[in-house]
């Protein structure tokens, strides 16, 4: 414990020294100008850090602390003056063995509903210094994502090499080869500039890589997890939606100016995911806050560093990820040990395990707030055993308190029966469009086998706007 404390103090002192070291320089804020780049035979907009989106909470920028001298070339898209709920940032570099960027963007937009897309802006920074590659990539993006660019849901940027600090002849920490040191150091600066630009584009910022696939409705899941965390404590610095590298890391927009400077100051010291852990500690968040199932999966087969083979996968990723609304869960089935009914509703590895159910037994979910349910999925059993063989799924209205001092509904409507231990239904709202208060699994026949309810997952219509 003392060792960790000393390390944090030392890191804080080093950060302070860095502040004093570079505080004499001035940030350049040239007017929006148009420059002709002969290498790409096109005109691009060169713009400084967008003052229009600086939050009142961003004391670093308002006080001109730790200035960053950087200008951005806007290659595609139109920045909006409207703050979205979520800004998603990813840096993309030329790869020796194929690109995953377009697939990543397709996944982000296709896995989001129209309402979710309107609450999000994706910022792509093309960080390779190969002008021909950038020009070709921009043309591909313009062809495939025309509407996203026109609607302000997608921006494509570049920072010229002249704004980068030295990338060669750096310290060989961890005995890395010089090429590796240059790669990871440049990556830190790439992320620093990307994060710096993204400040204020959304209330929250999500860091991704350019070779990931996303879970369905990931934005709604993130929104729910933020609400849950804020109810516990609002002093968090980083929420994690993937256990891998610098994928799925979420920050408050107000903290982005500090994070950008932090990555820039220590760019040559260590890889970005290691710096992330130190930043979290400096911001006084002691432990990792990681949510499961993961919302993002690494899909790249070959690394952006020298095209080496990379088979890294997140074992906790589920493409149809879910984030159920807050609810209480009740059952009259006999519970085995600590496998409580709430575990079937909550995200994670837990599950409900009950002894032999009888006809009339139930597991009832009572929503904290009435919810318009669109999809329902219920999974039971494990390796073909402990399946729920005979039951119906119902939704209900009008919450009351029962004689057992539990909550339930007085008015239930059947949606359908289990088949092979599973129930799945889409477009529930087309049959029952009004908000529901309960969801009930009602056993319709005795069974000798015990029952495992692995997961109850729903999606619902969001009532919140960005």
CATH number for the domain that contains residue 408:
2.60.120.260
Where would I find the beta strands (DSSP E) of 283-404? 296-298, 327-331, 352-354, 362-371, 373-380, 391-401
**Statement: residue 454 has pLDDT above 50:** yes
Map residue 26 onto helix, strand or coil.
coil
Same domain, 283 and 357: no
Question: Which pair of structure tokens corresponds to residue 109?
Answer: 């937009």
What average pLDDT does range 134-138 have in this prediction?
A: 95
Region at 222 (left for phi over 0; alpha for psi -120 to 50; beta for the rest): alpha
**Statement: residue 285 has pLDDT above 90:** yes
Same domain, 382 and 279: no
Helix%, strand%, coil% for the chain, nearest 5: 30, 30, 40
pLDDT value for 314: 56
H or E element that contains 434 = none
Contact between 263 and 195 (Cβ < 8 Å) = yes
* 75 domain-assigned: yes
Domain finish residue from 280, 298, 316: 298
pLDDT value for 81: 84
Domains contained in the chain, number: 2
Domain harbouring 201, CATH code: 3.90.550.10
Contact between 208 and 92 (Cβ < 8 Å) = no
Same domain, 428 and 341: yes
Given pLDDT bands bounded at 50, 70 and 90, which one contains residue 5? Answer: very low
* 308 domain-assigned: no
CA terminus-to-terminus distance, the chain = 42
The fraction of the chain above a pLDDT of 70, given in percent, is 79
* 401 domain-assigned: yes
* 81 domain-assigned: yes
**pLDDT higher for 102 or 460?**
102
Least reliable range by pLDDT among 46-50, 232-236, 373-377: 46-50
Question: Which pair of structure tokens corresponds to residue 223?
Answer: 């929104």
Domain around 383:
327-460
**Statement: residue 119 has pLDDT above 90:** yes
pLDDT value for 319: 56
**Statement: residue 316 has pLDDT above 90:** no
Cα gap 290→221, rounded to integer Å: 13
Contact between 121 and 198 (Cβ < 8 Å) = no
**Statement: residue 466 has pLDDT above 60:** no
Given pLDDT bands bounded at 50, 70 and 90, which one contains residue 243? Answer: confident
Residues ≥6 apart with Cβ < 8 Å to 195: 89, 205, 207, 251, 256, 259, 260, 263
Give the pLDDT confidence of 26-62 residue by residue, as tens digits.
Answer: 333 333 333 333 333 344 666 554 444 444 455 566 6
* 311 domain-assigned: no
Given pLDDT bands bounded at 50, 70 and 90, which one contains residue 350? Answer: confident
Task: State the sign of the Cα–Cα–Cα–Cα dihedral 61, 65, 66, 67.
Answer: positive
């Amino acid at each position: 414990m003392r060792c960790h404390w000393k390390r944090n103090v030392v890191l804080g002192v080093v950060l302070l020294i860095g502040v004093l070291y570079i505080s004499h320089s001035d940030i350049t804020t040239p007017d929006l100008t148009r420059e002709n780049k002969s290498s790409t035979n096109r005109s691009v907009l060169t713009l400084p850090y967008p003052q229009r989106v600086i939050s009142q909470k961003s004391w670093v920028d308002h006080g001109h602390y730790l200035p960053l001298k950087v200008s951005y070339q806007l290659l595609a898209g139109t920045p909006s003056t409207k703050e979205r709920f979520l800004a998603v940032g990813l840096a993309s570099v030329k790869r020796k063995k194929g690109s995953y960027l377009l697939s990543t963007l397709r996944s982000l937009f296709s896995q989001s509903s129209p309402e979710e897309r309107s609450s999000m802006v994706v910022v792509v920074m093309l960080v390779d210094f190969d002008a021909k590659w950038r020009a070709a990539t921009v043309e591909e993006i313009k062809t495939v994502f025309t509407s996203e660019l026109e609607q302000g849901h997608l921006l494509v940027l570049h920072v010229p090499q002249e704004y980068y600090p030295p990338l060669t002849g750096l310290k060989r920490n961890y005995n890395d080869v010089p090429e590796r040191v240059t790669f990871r150091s440049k990556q830190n600066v790439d992320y620093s500039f990307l994060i710096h630009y993204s400040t204020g584009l959304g209330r929250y910022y999500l860091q991704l890589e350019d070779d990931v696939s996303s879970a369905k409705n990931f934005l709604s899941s993130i929104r729910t997890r933020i609400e849950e965390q804020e109810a516990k404590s609002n002093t968090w610095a980083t929420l994690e939606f993937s256990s891998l590298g610098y994928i799925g890391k979420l920050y408050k927009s107000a903290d982005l100016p500090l994070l950008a400077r932090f990555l820039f100051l220590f760019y040559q010291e260590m890889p970005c995911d290691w710096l992330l852990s130190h930043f979290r500690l400096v911001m006084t968040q002691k432990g990792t806050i990681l949510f499961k199932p993961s919302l993002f999966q690494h899909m790249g087969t070959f690394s952006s560093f020298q095209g080496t083979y990379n088979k890294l996968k997140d074992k906790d990723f589920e493409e149809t990820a879910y984030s159920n609304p807050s609810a209480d869960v009740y059952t009259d089935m006999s519970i085995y040990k600590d496998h409580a009914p709430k575990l079937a509703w909550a995200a994670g590895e837990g599950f409900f395990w009950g002894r032999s159910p009888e006809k009339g037994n139930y597991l009832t979910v009572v929503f904290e707030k009435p919810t318009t349910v669109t999809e329902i999925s219920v999974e039971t059993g494990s390796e073909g055993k402990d399946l729920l063989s005979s039951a119906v799924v119902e939704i209900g209205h009008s919450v009351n308190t029962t004689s057992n001092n539990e909550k339930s509904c007085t008015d239930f409507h059947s949606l359908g029966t289990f088949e092979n231990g599973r129930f799945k239904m889409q477009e529930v709202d087309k049959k029952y469009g009004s908000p529901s208060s309960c969801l009930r699994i009602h056993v319709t026949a005795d069974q000798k086998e015990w029952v495992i309810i692995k997961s109850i997952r729903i999606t619902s219509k969001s009532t919140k706007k960005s």
